[in-house]
Amino acid sequence: MNRTELVKEIFSKKSFLSVGLDTDINKIPKFLLDFEDPIFEFNKRIIDATHDLCVAYKINIAFYECLGSKGWESLQKTLNYIPDNLFTIADAKRGDIGNTSAMYAQTFFQTYSFDSITINPYMGVDSVMPFLEFPGKWAILLALTSNKGSRDFQHIQENNEKLYELVVRKSFDWGNEDNIMFVTGATQPQELGGIRKLAPRSFFLVPGVGAQGGDLDAVVKAGRNEEVGLLVNSSRGIIYASADESFDKAARKEAQKLTDQMGEYF
SS3 (DSSP) at 95: coil
List C-alpha distances in Å: 226 to 11, 176, 205, 220, 250. 11, 17, 16, 12, 32
- Residues 137 and 115 sit within 8 Å (Cβ to Cβ): yes
Catalytic member of 93, 170, 253, 257: 93
In angstroms, rounded to a whole number, what is the distance separating the alpha carbons of residues 168 and 76?
A: 32
Annotation says 249 is catalytic: no
Number of residues assigned to the chain = 266
- Residues 195 and 143 sit within 8 Å (Cβ to Cβ): yes
Sequence-distant (≥ 6) Cβ neighbours of residue 226 within 8 angstroms? none
List C-alpha distances in Å: 2 to 5, 10, 88, 178, 229. 5, 13, 12, 7, 13
Cα 122 to chain center, whole Å?
A: 19
The residues annotated as belonging to the active site are 93
